[in-house]
Amino acid sequence: MATIGRKLAAWVHGLTYDQLGEQTIHEVKRRVLDSIGTALGAYYSAPGKITREVAGEACGPAGASLWGQRRRTSPELAAFANGAMVRYLDFNDTYLSKEPAHPSDNLSAAIAVTQAAGLTGKEAILAAVIGYEIQCRLCDADSLRAHGWDHVTYGALSTALLAGKLWGLSEDQLEHVLGLAGVCNITTRQTRTGQISHWKACAFSNAARNGIFAANLARRGMTGPYEIFEGPKGLMNQLSISDAGSVVLGEQGDFMIDRTYIKYWPAEYHSQSAIDAMLQLRPQIDVAAVESIHIGSFEAAVSIIGSEPEKWRPTSRETADHSMGYCTAVALIDGDVTRESFAEARLVDPQVLDLLDKTSITEEPELNPGYPKGIPNHITVTLKGGKKVDKRVDFPRGHAENPMTDEEVIAKFKRLAGGVVSDQTAQQIIDGCMSFDKLTDLAGLFEFEVIGE
């Protein structure tokens, strides 16, 4: 009887570009543009600088590009550095299910191995679809968060398989890839608990680095542990997950990338509907007259971004963008949530902290059934004199049920690229992404001049 690993390997091995369809190909183009944008927005961040410095120590004429530079490094380190920039702002795309995830984290690996293997944009698109499919379908199968593990554990598997596909591995080798990637890349949820550190940006890109490494070993003949899912000490038993065997992978016209969401605001996704609701209420509210703010929410949001004491006095950008109370307060004060909302000065702004002290979040049982199809947050603001205004939002802008247009995705990219690259370079990147399927060499898209370097 075939193992779960063999089932996944067979699907990856058999998938071809002509099965994808125009919509799926276009979604990949949008996600590549969005990912370059979020990377540029984080270009000067501490994790961006540190990971580029580490990757630069292994630079050479071959390998894969460090985005925004005219130098290359190993595909593993390129995926690590580029992926950390994509993730840092908490502005890259999202998928919500039993396990939440940011599937565009797979793109830095797909692009790095495409370059290292001397392949084209079409192969990168196919690899991206594979990464999204494997990660999101595993997220549908079981929750890792519920047992204290982090979603990037699935990312080591998805990036290993997409890398193996790009390197032309056989079904046998792809099954070994899963064993090599799965046995040693189990990660804890502490990454996203309490006061959150720089590592949040690097957690998936490190999994991607290790996924590529596993594929590189397998293509040279390295074998990996068998029955990585269902074995007595495999992932299902050790991580208390049970439904990996139920995974049904996509067919023509039904791929998971089409069900994922591009973010409209740079904040943890469960807060997007709370931000949206507060911005809709804002014209009715005098901030000085606010007596209290109550956010009725669902279990996942309360658990992840609304329950820990650190979320009420964040001391880092990473903690603030994982605080629904903070994000909602800033939205009310500023009329938007942007990169600047998480500057160090805002974390100690008395007006923000005063509003945060007036905010409460509780789990509302009637909202739980609305998740994960939607992210139902219901805000009630009580004003001096007793007047109350309220708003519930289930599908914020950018959600698959309320998607961003191409024009909005491009506008988001331009905002993030502003001041980092010239307007001319920004337009060249947009044009390159929109014709990604026609690229025979990816270097021209990812190696460009950054202002100030």
Same domain, 195 and 225: yes
Three-state DSSP class for residue 164? helix
- Residue for token pair 């591009």: 262
Residue 288: CATH number of its domain: 3.30.1330.120
| 33, part of any domain | yes
| 447, part of any domain | no
Three-state DSSP class for residue 222? coil
Helix-strand-coil split of the chain, %, nearest 5: 55, 10, 35
| 416, part of any domain | no
Q: Compute the C-alpha angle 105/107/109, nearest 5°.
A: 95
Domain limits for position 104? 4-259
Distance between CA 108 and CA 116 in Å, rounded?
12
Rg (CA), the chain: 21
Same domain, 210 and 353: no
Assigned token pair, 375: 């992210």
Give the model's pLDDT for residue 411. Answer: 98
Same domain, 278 and 235: no
Three-state DSSP class for residue 322? coil
Same domain, 57 and 182: yes
End of a domain among 393, 418, 433?
Answer: 393
Same domain, 227 and 287: no
| 451, part of any domain | no
Is residue 116 exposed (0-12), middle (13-18) or buried (19+ Cβ within 10 Å)? buried
| 436, part of any domain | no
Give the model's pLDDT for residue 243. Answer: 83
Element (H, E) at 347: helix 344-347
Alpha helix stretches (DSSP H) within 65-116: 75-88, 107-116
Number of domains in the chain: 2
Same domain, 102 and 248: yes
Q: Report the length, in residues, of the chain.
A: 453
Same domain, 292 and 243: no
Which of 348, 347, 326 has its CA nearest to residue 337? 326
> Do the strands 64-65 and 290-297 form a parallel or antiparallel pair, or are they unpaired?
unpaired
Same domain, 173 and 42: yes
Same domain, 366 and 388: yes
Distance between CA 298 and CA 451 in Å, rounded?
43
End of a domain among 345, 375, 393?
Answer: 393
Three-state DSSP class for residue 420? coil
Neighbouring C-alpha atoms within 13 Å toward the C-beta of 78: 30
Distance between CA 281 and CA 389 in Å, rounded?
7
Give the model's pLDDT for residue 242. Answer: 84
Distance between CA 56 and CA 53 in Å, rounded?
5
| 429, part of any domain | no
Same domain, 231 and 358: no
Residue 74: CATH number of its domain: 1.10.4100.10
DSSP letter at 249 equals -
Same domain, 242 and 96: yes
The total of other beta-carbon atoms located within 10 Å of residue 305's CB is 26
Is residue 350 exposed (0-12), middle (13-18) or buried (19+ Cβ within 10 Å)? exposed
Q: Compute the C-alpha angle 305/295/383, nearest 5°.
A: 135
Q: Which residues of 309-327 are buried (b: 16+ CB within 10 A; e: fewer)?
A: ebbbbbebbbbbbbbbbbb
Give the model's pLDDT for residue 152. Answer: 98
| 68, part of any domain | yes
Give the model's pLDDT for residue 268. Answer: 96
Residue numbers of the chain with a pLDDT score lower than 70: none
Distance between CA 426 and CA 419 in Å, rounded?
10
Give the model's pLDDT for residue 184. Answer: 97
| 241, part of any domain | yes
Write the DSSP assignment of 268-315 as a string of letters: -GGGHHHHHHHHHHGGG--GGGEEEEEEEE-HHHHHHHTSSGGGGS--
Give the model's pLDDT for residue 244. Answer: 84
Give the model's pLDDT for residue 309. Answer: 94
What is the pTM assigned to this prediction? 0.96
Element (H, E) at 237: helix 235-238
Same domain, 35 and 129: yes
Distance between CA 152 and CA 84 in Å, rounded?
13
End of a domain among 393, 412, 435?
Answer: 393
Bridge-partner residues for 95, per DSSP?
101
Using CA atoms in the order 396, 397, 398, 400, what is the torsion angle rounded to 10 degrees?
60
The answer to whether the beta carbons of residues 149 and 188 sit under 8 Å apart is yes
